[in-house]
């Protein structure tokens, strides 16, 4: 990158911020601290904000190194966000004194903090993207805002954490992510598994289940039930089902008189079919 700052320039920049505060940071002091010329700095960074933005990009690249877009390589999205934020703190640790001084200055100057907020929001958006969490649309913008709140909470804990392993800061980050998951559902840092349907649902509340002795028989038993119906109604105690009336027997078939179409009466005269009247009411009549 054309404006990529050297490590020596970044060290000088943050030493000036630590000594003079954010509002006392000038290019003349940065040039004197770094040994670079004003003309060279002017050709690369129009304002100190541009140098701050270049530092933020350098940190983002260091944090995202080794990540895969949309990665789901380990743990949940929450675990990956936790890991990326701790890696960001590790990358900021060499310039801790200057960053903390700037943090205190911005707390007393809300307008400057608002002016510089897009730099932090861009870094948090890249953090979510590195964790495989979408930042698209309104929901994505809300996730970025939620992670900015998490970061500001962790930064306050980092300010008073003098331990080598940053144990108190890690604990503060864990609590902040817990609060973010509970309060801001739009952040969606957890990956919920879809619930499987209940294949054996219990009885519905308020509805009595039918006793097993009067449940409709399966389809395979229907033929047997109809065959047994011809034997007549069964009384309780004779093998029938108590309280259930048996099917009535079918009436005997009536004999069909022989006709001209019947082979049993070949000599019977054929009965002529009356012609259909025009406009008749038969189901097949046509006008």
- pLDDT, tens digit (0-9, with 9 covering 90-100), for 147-181: 999 999 999 999 999 898 899 999 999 999 988 88
Stretch 136-150: mean pLDDT, rounded? Answer: 90
The pLDDT, as a whole number, for residue 9 is 95
- pLDDT, tens digit (0-9, with 9 covering 90-100), for 91-138: 999 999 999 999 999 999 999 999 999 999 999 999 999 988 889 998
Show the tokens assigned to 237: 């105690």
Mean per-residue pLDDT over the chain, rounded: 75
For residues 76 and 190, give the distance between their C-alpha atoms in angstroms, rounded to a whole number. 6
Q: What is the DSSP string of 10-50?
A: HHHHHHHHHHH-GGG--HHHHHHHH---HHHHHHH-SSHHH
8 Å CB contact between 96 and 162: no
8 Å CB contact between 63 and 127: yes
Sign of CA dihedral 145, 86, 113, 180: positive
- Domain residue spans of the chain: 48-187
Candidate from 4-18, 20-34, 73-87, 265-279 with smallest mean pLDDT: 265-279
Closest alpha carbon to 99 in 25, 14, 5: 14
| pTM to 2 decimal places | 0.63
For residues 25 and 198, give the distance between their C-alpha atoms in angstroms, rounded to a whole number. 65
Q: What is the DSSP string of 242-253?
A: TT-PPPPPPPPP
For residues 39 and 222, give the distance between their C-alpha atoms in angstroms, rounded to a whole number. 98
Angle between helix 110-130 and 77-92 (nearest 10): 130
Show the tokens assigned to 58: 């350098």
């Amino acid at each position: 990158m054309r404006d990529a700052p050297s490590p020596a320039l970044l060290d000088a920049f943050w030493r000036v911020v630590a000594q003079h505060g954010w509002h006392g940071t000038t290019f003349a002091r940065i040039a004197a601290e770094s040994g670079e010329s004003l003309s060279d700095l002017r050709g690369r960074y129009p304002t100190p904000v541009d140098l701050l933005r270049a530092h933020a990009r350098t940190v983002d690249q260091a944090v995202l190194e080794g990540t895969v877009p949309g990665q789901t390589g380990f743990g949940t999205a929450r675990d990956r966000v936790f890991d990326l934020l701790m890696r960001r703190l590790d990358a900021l640790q060499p310039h801790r004194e200057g960053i903390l001084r700037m943090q205190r200055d911005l707390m007393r100057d809300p307008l400057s903090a608002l002016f510089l907020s897009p730099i932090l929001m861009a870094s948090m958006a890249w953090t979510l993207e590195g964790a495989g969490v979408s930042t698209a649309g309104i929901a994505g913008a809300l996730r970025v805002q939620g992670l900015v709140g998490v970061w500001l909470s962790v930064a306050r804990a980092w300010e008073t954490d003098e331990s080598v392993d940053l144990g108190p800061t890690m604990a503060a980050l864990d609590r902040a992510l817990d609060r973010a998951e509970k309060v801001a559902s739009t952040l969606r840092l957890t990956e919920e598994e879809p619930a499987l349907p209940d294949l054996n649902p219990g009885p519905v509340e308020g509805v009595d289940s039918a006793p097993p002795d009067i449940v409709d028989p399966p389809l395979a038993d229907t033929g047997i039930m109809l065959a047994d119906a011809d034997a007549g109604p069964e009384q309780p105690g004779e093998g029938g089902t108590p309280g259930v009336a048996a099917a009535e027997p079918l009436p005997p078939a009536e004999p069909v008189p022989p006709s001209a179409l019947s082979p049993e009466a070949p000599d019977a005269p054929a009965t002529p079919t009356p012609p259909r009247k025009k406009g008749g009411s038969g189901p097949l009549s046509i006008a």
